[in-house]
Amino acid sequence: MLAKREDIILDELASIVGKDNVTAAKHIRYAYSYDLSFVKPKMPDYVVMATTVEQIQDIMRLANREKIPVIPYTAGTNIGGLCIPERGGILLDLKRMNKIIKLDVESHYAIIEPGVSHAKFAMELYKHNLRWSWPVGPPSASVFSNALCHGIGGLSGRYGLNSEEITSMEVVLPTGELVRVGSCAINPEEWHSVLPLPQLDGLFKGWLGTSGVVTKLGVRVHPLPPILKVFTVSCENMEDMYSYMRNLGNYEICDDLTAVSWWLAQVPIPYPYKPKPDNEPEWFSFATTFSWTEKEKQAREEIWEMVVEEEQKKGSSIKKTVYPEEALKARTQLPSKIVGTTKNYCKQAGGGISWPGTFTPAKYWAKVYNEWKKILIRHSLSPSVRATNYRGVHYGMLRAMIPFNKQNPEETENARQAIIECLRVDLDAGGIPYKPPVDFALEINKRAHPGYLSLLKQVKKLLDPNDIMNPGKLAI
């Protein structure tokens, strides 16, 4: 009797990674078929744990020849269904490739493998008094994937997105070819910069695993000043908060300048929606600053005092606020052990969480938030919204963290519809969603310039002629 194609592929995968590192067992495939988000589960056909670059090259050659989809995966915490296989195929789990290959404490960069978690990276960096822009996400998630997907973290106010910290890359293309971009392409020992070469790293950043498997990443790291001071204020509305954040942001004294709505400040986020008590402010802000000396800290404090006073003179509802120690830890003890644990986000809700996560011009934050609030409350969901400045004040992250009951299909669909509605409002106001689930990608593409879509398709075709890399995610 002829062997089934699936069995032949399974054997071939086993010959590449060893039979203990590949499976088609249903219960394992099931575990990789869903995430926290509203995106519907779909099963991969195989789960493969690779440990070397050569194995990844062989897997890609096989997949390309057989036209089998490949989905790169590290921890699956992206809350956008980005690792849920649209068309089955090989779920390529890279978490065992978790070496910090080099930490150059003199030149301030590291070379890492895909599976290096935030927890592991932090342990190594803190030994050398260095730091990274930690997201408020699970410490088990990958530093590498976060940077590739334009993640944001506690230093985004100062240095921008984590993808802007990438200095070099090694990548296996969908054909199995090994390529390099940045300084490591010219001198294999040097991983310090993508510039002044053509910025080919852009072919792999923000592509959600649809253009190649990145196997090594150079990232900048930064010194950790000893004196931390978080300035906290509260106010009644987003208009006042935006004015304060714009004013303070102009002085560029913060590593992170973030505002959270009352609902996001609750642990856990209320689900279903519950009204805010009348005597509580609607918005809180954390301005995280680090200083080398007491004098430097005092200078920052002087600027902050001046900004608060200026805002109050304008008639703003901004007030200095003492924020509970436990909640402050979530801003400063990163990688987060507090808010970042998903149970704190969604334990009232039955395990589901999704977001309309966007980059939105700051001047539209109030307009978009006020619309989002109406939509979310109409759907019995909390307007648990966060706004964060990126490297200055002209635009930043505006996102709502939406817990929902994933056990119940109607409640999941309710959250999905509310989130898509919110997203349309933001796109109309000039915002762009990040780490977009397919539902968001469809909305983005509806509005896209035809030349943008045409270029995207051409580049995708060039890199991935058989459309095997995480197919369907770009919705083109």
Residue 41, classed as helix, strand or coil, is coil
Q: Least separation, in Å, of the C-beta of 213 and ligand FAD?
A: 5
Residue ranges that bind ligand FAD, judged by CB under 6 A: 36, 71-79, 82-83, 94, 114, 135-138, 141-142, 145-146, 148-149, 151-153, 208-209, 213-214, 340, 342, 345, 470
Give the DSSP letter of residue 468.
-
Report the alpha-carbon angle 197-150-40, nearest 5.
135
Q: Least separation, in Å, of the C-beta of 173 and ligand FAD?
A: 11
Give the DSSP letter of residue 93.
E
Residue number with CB closer to ligand FAD (213 or 219): 213
Give dist(CA 144, CA 205) in Å, integer.
11
Q: Least separation, in Å, of the C-beta of 271 and ligand FAD?
A: 14
Residue number with CB closer to ligand FAD (36 or 233): 36
Give dist(CA 344, CA 53) in Å, integer.
37
Q: Least separation, in Å, of the C-beta of 74 and ligand FAD?
A: 3
Residue identified by tokens 């499976």 is 23
Give dist(CA 7, CA 46) in Å, integer.
11
Residue number with CB closer to ligand FAD (84 or 375): 84
Structure tokens at 224: 């950790």
Structure tokens at 26: 């249903």
Residue number with CB closer to ligand FAD (133 or 316): 133
Which residue has the closest beta carbon to ligand FAD?
Answer: 209
Q: Least separation, in Å, of the C-beta of 443 and ligand FAD?
A: 18
For 176, left (φ over 0), alpha (ψ -120 to 50), or beta?
A: left
Q: What ranges make up the beta strands (E) of 305-384?
A: 319-320, 351-354, 357-361
Name beta bridge partners: 90: 46, 70
Q: Least separation, in Å, of the C-beta of 475 and ligand FAD?
A: 13
Residue number with CB closer to ligand FAD (311 or 396): 396
Torsion of CA 17, 21, 24, 30, to 10 degrees: -140
Q: Least separation, in Å, of the C-beta of 118 and ligand FAD?
A: 7
Q: Least separation, in Å, of the C-beta of 422 and ligand FAD?
A: 17
Q: Least separation, in Å, of the C-beta of 305 and ligand FAD?
A: 29
Q: Least separation, in Å, of the C-beta of 299 and ligand FAD?
A: 29
Contacts of 237 (CB under 8 A, 6+ apart): 282, 283, 317, 366
Give the DSSP letter of residue 362.
G
Residue number with CB closer to ligand FAD (243 or 336): 336
- How far CA 354 is from CA of 39, 129, 357, 443, in Å, comes to 9, 34, 9, 16
Judge whether 340 and 136 are in contact, CB under 8 Å: yes
Residue number with CB closer to ligand FAD (209 or 356): 209
Residue number with CB closer to ligand FAD (75 or 130): 75
Residue number with CB closer to ligand FAD (95 or 300): 95
Residue count (the chain): 476
Please name the helix (run of DSSP H) or strand (run of DSSP E) that holds residue 289, with its range, or none: strand 283-291
Residue number with CB closer to ligand FAD (183 or 336): 336
Instruction: Name the H helices within 150-255.
Output: 156-159, 238-249
Q: Least separation, in Å, of the C-beta of 451 and ligand FAD?
A: 25
First to last CA, the chain: 41
Give dist(CA 318, CA 339) in Å, integer.
25
Residue number with CB closer to ligand FAD (211 or 232): 211
Judge whether 135 and 239 are in contact, CB under 8 Å: no
